A and B are shown apart, each in its own frame.
Chain A
Amino acid sequence: MQVYDMPDEHGHFGPFGGVFVSETLVEALDELRVMYEKYRHDPEFLAEYAYDLKHFVGRPSPIYHAKRLSDKVGGAQIYLKREDLNHTGAHKINNTIGQALLAKRMGKPRVIAETGAGQHGVATATIAARLGLECVVYMGAEDVKRQAPNVFRMKLLGATVVPVESGSKTLKDALNEAMRDWVTNISNTFYIIGTVAGPHPYPMMVRDFQAIIGIEAKEQMQEMIGRQPDAVVACVGGGSNAMGIFYPYIDVEGVRLIGVEAGGHGLSTGQHAAPLTANSPIGVLHGNRTYLMQDEDGNIIETHSISAGLDYPGVGPEHAWLKDINRAEYVAITDEEAMAAFHNLCRTEGIIPALESSHALAYAEKLAKTMSPDQVVLVNLSGRGDKDINTVARLANISL
């Protein structure tokens, strides 16, 4: 089998990815690319990263056999990669530590980030506090309202949270605003992107920092069941947790890789955030070429998902590539299905999952039903659901 080796030196995954930015950003991205190439295999850098993952984050995160859930669903055995047990409650911290350590080596005293649900913002503020870096987080004004506890968390950690009032006032607009900050403050600022999108080298770099999820999972599955799972399931917004667990499995034959997008109110309603499943056209946004939800004029359309972390009109370019080469499959789960899976995991396993991860759980349940009890489905439980209790309560008309 051919060894998977993407992207190329210009950040292309076949027709996807690349560096689609204004000339004002090119120099900064060149600098980042050179520095990342210098440190990505540097033993001292990797040792520092590994130390923080172990002692600050609490890695390796365990894999848990959800027996009661498996029995209730009936079919394949469902295993959970417990990224929800990481410090700050999600996989996002794996990446922010990597990038912040790089920022430190590049002599940048200030880091900025965009955030949707607030998890990436919290993870950035956390590592910035630990390393003594100034931290500014851009967040859509709508999201600031929806995610008040995370906004306060970031402030407690010493970060400045800037509400973004332009456009749809959500994640994509926060990303636009962070790019504008970066271009203005290039000399002292490092932009910590939270997902496998953006211009090269971000999709590759974020994937590399998240790949620890899949690297651990491969070892742990071997230890636990003596083989690899039949399918690996992860939710996909931009797609960083999915890329992290998929990447080490790409060359492993016989393991299905399944990305679960946010189906919102259903694909037929147009109110969703599932560009891959809905066969959206290819386009250019936020520095890369990928599948994009857009109107006939090429303007980006507003997306909908119950989960702010999946509410993004594009998808990381490597997912677009994995779809095109048929190495990964992409499906969508509606708000309603995700909610059912959320409650199911709470009640059967005593784990409150993030609404993002609940999309992966919902599809894993559907899939497991079609499989036999000696087969195994591994779900990346990318985050815990404490942050979502207000949303869940509101949907049930309960005021907390």
Chain B
Amino acid sequence: MSRIQSVFATLKAQGKKALIPYITAGDPHPDHTVPLLHALVEAGADMIELGVPFSDPMADGPVIQRASERALVHKMGLRKVLAMVKAFRETNQTTPIVLMGYANPIEAMGSAQFVALAKDSGVDGVLTVDYPPEECEVFNQQLAAADIDSIFLLSPTTEPSRTELIVKQATGFLYYVSLKGVTGAANLDIVEVKKRVADIRKQTSMPIGVGFGVKDAATAREVAAIADAVVVGSRMVLAIESSDAGNLVANVQALMHELRAAIDSV
């Protein structure tokens, strides 16, 4: 059982839902990232999505794009991101880390080398935004051979026949994008999300995380009632953006406590 699967199994046994915060590696400065990862765990993260900065983050909204730009000022490349995961693993062997990013940095490194380094660094899952299942067969096999989970997105426009195809290749959990648009876009329609998540459950028993529109404790609570995991990205990055080095950890943890309480109240 992978680290991701065992987290979901444990939570399920406890009747709890997962809280998955997203941060971009190297934002606001590379020195902050590893301490932030530990701070997130301390404040209740069950799993962490760590964004790999990219110059052209097409599927992200302005908030996460700015995070990428801040990180890239410090030449925050994929190798450095993997080194951060390795540093985090020195004192944490339980919290899964999912890398979220785009195909080009992986292809620039070479997918085989990336998978080997990711394995060595203690990465648990990889979500490559612009790798739909049709375009990443070899990469997916390489990840599977290394026991790293392949996380795939499902969107409001994904047809059931396509969900079938994606479910076959996905491992760990499925990430349902709660709205039409980019990360951090308009408010999600909870009734629609509920219906879609119910439909997806008819096709798979894999855990389902929901993200792209969770803005506050209220939406986190609503999503937790439906999904197995709540992913909070842009809101988390906003907390980082509006902090300085002195109150960064405190602000991020305050937001985490709020979200944790909301999710656990379900």
Contacts and interface: CB of A to CB of B under 8 A. Distances in A.
Contacts of A299: 53-55, 72, 77, 104-105
A111 B108 CA distance: 34
B165 to A, nearest CB: 10
B66 to A, nearest CB: 8
A286 B58 contact: yes
A47 to B, nearest CB: 33
Interface string B117-158: 000000000000111101100000000000000001111111
Nearest to B105: A298
Choose among A179, A183, A294 the residue with the greatest number of B CB atoms under 10 Å from its CB: A183
Interface residues of B, number: 46
Contacts of B62: 166
A174 B102 CA distance: 18
Given A167-B55, A184-B181, A23 B78 contact: no
Interface string A288-318: 0100101111111000000000000000000
B158 A26 contact: yes
Interface string A1-44: 00000000010000000111111101110000000000000000
B158 A180 contact: no
B56 interface: yes
Nearest to A179: B58
B134 A19 contact: yes
Contacts of B155: 22-24, 26-27
B107 interface: yes
A172 interface: yes
B58 A283 contact: no
B58 A180 contact: yes
B255 interface: no
A17 B135 CA distance: 10
Interface in A30-81: none
B90 interface: no
A20 B62 CA distance: 21
A296 B108 contact: yes
Contacts of B157: 24, 26-28, 186
A129 B109 CA distance: 46
A22 B129 contact: yes
A88 interface: no
A22 B69 contact: no
A10 B136 CA distance: 13
B32 interface: no
B131 A20 contact: yes
A284 B109 CA distance: 12
B106 interface: yes
B215 to A, nearest CB: 16
Contacts of B65: 166-167
A117 to B, nearest CB: 20
A298 B59 contact: no
A282 B135 contact: no
A283 B177 CA distance: 26
Interface string B173-193: 000010011100110000000
Contacts of B75: 297
Nearest to B77: A297
A35 B35 CA distance: 51
Interface residues of A, number: 39
B201 interface: no
A283 B103 CA distance: 8
Contacts of A26: 132, 155, 157-158, 162
Contacts of A179: 58-59
Nearest to B76: A297
B223 to A, nearest CB: 18
B132 A285 contact: no
B56 A176 contact: yes
A19 B131 CA distance: 8
B154 A23 contact: yes
B61 interface: yes
A158 B132 CA distance: 37
A22 B58 contact: yes
Contact of B69 (A28, A167, A285, A289): A167
A23 B55 CA distance: 20
Contacts of A185: 180
B104 A183 contact: no
Contacts of A285: 56, 104
Contacts of A294: 104, 108
Nearest to A10: B134
Contacts of A107: none
B62 to A, nearest CB: 7
Given A166-B62, A299-B105, A23 B54 contact: no
A240 to B, nearest CB: 20
A21 B182 contact: no
A132 interface: no
A186 B180 contact: yes
Interface in B66-90: 69, 72, 75, 77-79
B260 to A, nearest CB: 28
A294 B183 CA distance: 25
Contact of A22 (B53, B153, B185, B186): B153
Given A27-B157, A27-B159, A284 B58 contact: no
A20 B132 CA distance: 7
A26 B180 CA distance: 12
A183 B135 contact: no
Choose among B156, B157, B158 the residue with the greatest number of A CB atoms under 10 Å from its CB: B157
24 contacts: A10-B134, A18-B135, A20-B131, A20-B135, A22-B58, A23-B155, A23-B158, A24-B153, A24-B177, A24-B180, A27-B159, A166-B62, A179-B59, A180-B181, A186-B157, A187-B180, A283-B108, A284-B130, A285-B104, A296-B77, A297-B79, A297-B108, A298-B54, A300-B56
The 10 closest A-B pairs by CB, nearest first: A298-B108, A297-B77, A298-B105, A27-B157, A184-B181, A299-B55, A22-B59, A23-B153, A284-B103, A24-B155
